[in-house]
Structures are given as structure tokens and as C-alpha cells.
Amino acid sequence: MRSNRAKLRAGASLAATLPLLAGALALGIPAHAADGAHRDALAGTKPAWATAKADKGAAPDSAQVSARVYLAGRDAAGLAAYARAVSDPSSASYGRYLTPAQAQARFGATPAQVAAVKAWLTSAGLKVTAVTAHYVAVSGDVAAAERAFGTQLHTYAKGGATYRAPASTASAPADVADAVLTVTGLDNAPHKAKHKDQLPPPDAVFRNAGPFSSYHGSNVATTLPRAYGQRIPYAVQGYTGRQLRAAYGAGRYTGKGVRIAITDAYASPTIAYDVATYAKKHGDAAWRTGQLRQVLPGAYSRTEECGAAGWYGEETLDVEAVHALAPDAQVTYVGAASCYDDDLLDSLSKIVDNHLADIVSNSWGDIEANQTPDLAAAYDQVFQFGAVEGIGFYFSSGDDGDEVAATGTKQVDTPANSAWVTAVGGTSLAVGKGDKYLWETGWGTTKATLSADGRSWTGFPGAFTSGAGGGTSRTVAQPYYQKGVVPNALARANSAQGNRVVPDIAAIADPNTGFLVGQTQTFPDGAQRYSEYRIGGTSLAAPVIAGVQALAQEANGGRALGFANPAIYARSGTKAYHDVTDRPTGRGLAVARVDYVNGHDAADGLTTSVRTLGNDSSLKAVKGYDDVTGVGSPAAGYVRSYRRR
């Protein structure tokens, strides 16, 4: 799920009157110190790592800065209030969505606000490079940025390198502060100078070795050691759409008339061929002409830094999974120009500004520690605009459990931590003979390898390798819809007032019980051809839930579900969900895997391992709400619960 995208710290500020500014500079006083009474601080704009100890001195005045001043709009509080009202089934305004034009007219920035922000920035010596409904982009040298944003820019040591950042909290002049939501770009960590306009070829091939199970338990590893006192099955080759539709109660619904958008970075050059080939091979409905379309930027950047080819598989997974669950839904892929926040925000904004879909699947994110309050505000504003238009955003919750093994700190992922999105956690799924749903556990994997003599698993159950992301946010307050459902022990883990807990809902994510995908890959001989492999992660869970939501919207008479969390939590504890726990059979669970050492063929040998199910770092899937699977996974009653009567 996690991309390589880097978080840009944010900051904003404005120079005051020119005579006062000139006097301040003549005395060597920072502009924000000279006219502080006439400026409003923009909280969160100085990065935590920009400390006095790490300070390496002032950034060169001639160094270049590119920044975005995000616009607060004419009624930021009203936007949040209306987004809540139209999303809450108990509200009289529930479902009374606005068009993009109506939303902008009611809550967007006014021409006067935009003009005032532009005048402020240009008067400081910055050049306006773009103006959208959401932000004013500018460029210029450090000296001009310091005049505009009322702070000095210094260089700081961070992780063995040096980066530029504000030395103090940025600010905006009082006469334009109400128009400014936040600013990004004053902090340039961890930008790199390399840029490319062309996308690389597909990544090197990856394939799974057999033997496999076709459904859970169909092929028991009788020659391998036992685990948890029992013979274990080989991992499935990869579930198909038919099996997942049966597991999550699709019934007769196909997503007809529903529009789903998918966001990732870049775009696979073989997506049309791959998804058509996959659907034909596995019995999914054939893609109709125009059923899949792409909305792409004019050029790409940071392809090497972001690992562009790695995103092809993400897009392929998302599109094939959505189509497998909701074969008649219209799918629009919106690719970002890079894996950086500004570009990903642009993709989300395209969907909202043009209402390209009602359901948006997003299989990317970063750790919460890398997000600053100002950047979170920019994301939340887009999500709130989406909510008032009836658009719901679904984000994967992460693949590293509580993040301690990966980062050393217990934390959740972002943007899944936003109170305005549906965070999708992960499970290990068992589908039996005849596509019968057997059980799910929370996704959490430990791995042990076969001993040299083949008679035992070395160090069983082994070390933690991956698991569904979840836990309690340190920065986002507890949303109203979680109260009374999320246990206080989780909600108040980081503060007495309570915080947002992730995830909200869950679906199949474990790669060991994963989904089969088909993608054009680059083979060792340099040839590029279609191949299939099993995949997982909450990158799978998010599009699966998006597909299920498309079925629910169809059952709802085609009326958009919008921001779904209030409705999701209102169904908590009902037959709408499988209540997922870590020991559904009363004992430990595991599967056997045989893998190619080199990832594609047996030339360098095979490796055999046991992968346990339901061992997610410190997180536990328990009865009721938990921070691995949320309220649970959709059961047969979920889609039916939306039927209009």
C-alpha cells in the first residue's frame, strides 16, 4: 500500500505594507517580527525536525522556492458542517448533495479572495504560476518567499542530508488570512533534482511457484511439517472475482450505473490489454467500449524517485479488483504526475471538481509522522468538498501493522487517518469449495522457513513480516460517528479527549490468501508479456470495498452513498458484517508457501515457508470493533441493507 511519495511540509505567511517591510529589512529584523501585530500565524508550518540543533544557517537568498497557497474559501466552517449533515443518516439534510458548481458557489474562494492572495504574493516579489479553484501556485527566490511568508528559511540537517525549512511558524497578513487555508513548499524535504517526462517499461517479472490450493483447504501439504498441531493447506493460487463476490454478498448486483474512480501515480502503458485479457481468462464480464477511461496529466515527474513502474501493478490491481467485484461499474483511472502530495491532491481535486465518480479508491499513503497539520487541512478540504457532492473516498490503512517494526514508533497511516475518509483494513480470507465463505482473520503474518532436513519449521511461528495497518491517531480528534462503537481503550490511547481510530471496515488483504492479477511484465530476456501472480495488501482491500460500495449504491436505487462512515458505523453489530476475529476456528491458522528464489522461475531453486494468519504486530482482531478490521468485513446482509424500500 505504501508509496514512496514524500510529504511536503507546509507554511504560509504574508508581508505587510511595503514601507514597514523596508524598514524592517533595513534594521535586519525579520519581516514577521516587525509587523507581527498585523499578521496571523499559520499553525503547523514549521517542521518538527527544524530544530536549533539541526540548524545549518540561512538558506541562500537566490535559491528557488515553489509553493502553493491553498485557499480557505468563503465559509470553511460551513463546508465542514454541511459535509457532516449530508453524510449523516440521522440528519434532515442526508443525501441532499450539491453539484460541483453549487459547492464552489457556496463554499469556494471568491474572486476577491483570489485577487487579494495574488496581490499579496506578487507584491513580495513572487511569480504566480497557476491559479485553480483550490490554490494559487507561486515561484521565486528565498528572499521573496521570506518577505511573503514572514519567516526566515534555513537549512537543517535531517537523516544524513540537509533540507530547507521555515525557521519559525509562517504567517499571513491579517487582511488576507481568512482566505488562506495553508501553504506547502516552504519545506523542500525530501525533493530530488531529477526529472523525467517518459515513463519506464514494466517492472521485472514476478510469479508464484506452486503447489497451490484452488480454494482454501483444497490442497493440503501432507509432506510438510504440521503447524499448530495440524496439517496445513498450500496458499491459494489467488482468489478470483467469482469467489470474492460470493464471500462479500454481491448477490445479483453488478454495480450497474455506478461510477468508480481510482487514483494512483503515473499510468500503466498496458492497462487496457491487461484488464481485458484478465477478464476473459477468469470469467469476469468483458469490458465494454468506454467502460474504462483514464484522466492523465500532461507530463510526469520524479519517475525514478517514485519508482514509476512499481505503480503500474498498483493500477492494474485496483482496476481488476474493482471490475471483479462490480463488473458493470464505470471505472475512471486518475493518474497523478508523481507520488508527491501536491500531485496526488491534484488528482483528487480533478475528481471532485468534475464529479468524475461517486466512489474513489486510493491505495497509497504514508505514516502519520510525515504529515503536518497544514497538509492534512489541504486533504480534508478536498474530502469535505467531495462529501457535499456525494463522493466517498476509501483509503488503504497500511501494510505494516502498528508501524513499530518499520519505523520504531506506534502510529497509523495517512490519509487513512482523516476523519473524512473511509479507512480500509485487511483480513485473511478463507473461501471454501463451491465459493462458500468459511471465515476471516485479521491480516497479520509471521514467517518461518522449512528446516534443512524438512522435518520442522525453523523458529516457528517466525518473525512478523506484514499486516493490516491500524491503531489510534495522535493528531486527529475522535469523529462523532465512532463514539459509542469504538472502545474507549482504543479511542483514548493517546489522549483523554479521544482520537480517530483506524480502520473503519475491512476486506481481503493477506497476500497469502490474496487475489490473482494479470499484468504485462518484463522477463529476464527483455521480452514484455502478460503474466499472472497472487497479490495482497490493503491495496487490495480498498478497491474490493469500493466495488462492494458500488453494489450497495446500485441496491440503493443508484443514489450516491457519499461519505460512508456514518452509515457504516450505524450498521455496526448487525448481520451486515462478518465480525472478524483472529482465531475464528479456535486455534492458530497457517498456510504453506513455495516460492521461486529469484522470483520468476526455478533456475535458482525454491524456498518453502509457513505463513501464519491473524498475528498482526501488537494489533488484535477481537469481537466487536477492533483496530485491525474496524466494524468487520461486508457479509451477505451488507449490500441488501441498502435496498430502497
Rounded average pLDDT over 345-361: 98
In degrees and rounded to multiples of 5, residue 108 shows phi and psi of -75, 170
Using CA atoms, how far apart are residues 621 and 427, in angstroms rounded to an integer? 9
pLDDT tens figures, 473-503: 999 999 999 999 999 999 999 999 999 999 9
* pLDDT tens per residue across span 397-409: 999 999 999 999 9
- Please state which of the ranges 23-27, 178-182, 329-333, 584-588 shows the lowest mean pLDDT: 23-27
Residue pair 572/534 in contact (Cβ under 8 Å)? The answer is no
Identify the pLDDT of residue 17: 30
Alpha-carbon gap, residue 516 to 334, rounded angstroms: 23
Give the model's pLDDT for residue 46.
87
Q: What is the pTM of this model?
A: 0.92
pLDDT over 90 at 1, yes or no: no
According to the model, what pLDDT value does residue 11 have?
28
- φ/ψ region of 241 (left if φ > 0, alpha if ψ in -120 to 50, else beta) reads alpha
Q: What is the pLDDT of residues 256-299, one digit of tens each?
A: 999 999 999 999 999 999 999 999 999 999 999 999 999 999 99
pLDDT surpassing 60 at residue 194 = no
User: Which pLDDT value is given to residue 200?
Assistant: 64
Cell reading at 274 = 491487461
pLDDT, average across residues 90-105: 97
Please report the pLDDT score of residue 9 as a whole number. 26
Instruction: Fill in the amino acid letter for 46.
Output: K
In the predicted structure, residue 25 carries a pLDDT above the cut 60:
no
Residue 199 binned pLDDT confidence (cut-offs 50, 70, 90):
low
Write down all domains in the chain, each with its CATH number in brackets: 18-73+109-184 (no CATH), 241-512+542-586+614-640 (3.40.50.200)
pLDDT of 366 reads: 93
Q: On the CB side of 466, how many CA atoms lie within 13 Å of its CA? A: 18
Report percent pLDDT > 70 for the chain: 92
Averaged over 211-225, what is the pLDDT? 98
Q: Tell me the average pLDDT of the chain.
A: 91
Please, which pLDDT band fits residue 184 given cuts at 50, 70 and 90? confident
**How high is the pLDDT of residue 423?**
98
Chain segment 553-562, per-residue pLDDT in tens = 999 999 999 9
Whether residue 246 has pLDDT greater than 80 = yes
Asked if the model's pLDDT at residue 390 lies above 60, the reply is: yes
Distance (Å, whole) CA 330 – CA 326? 9
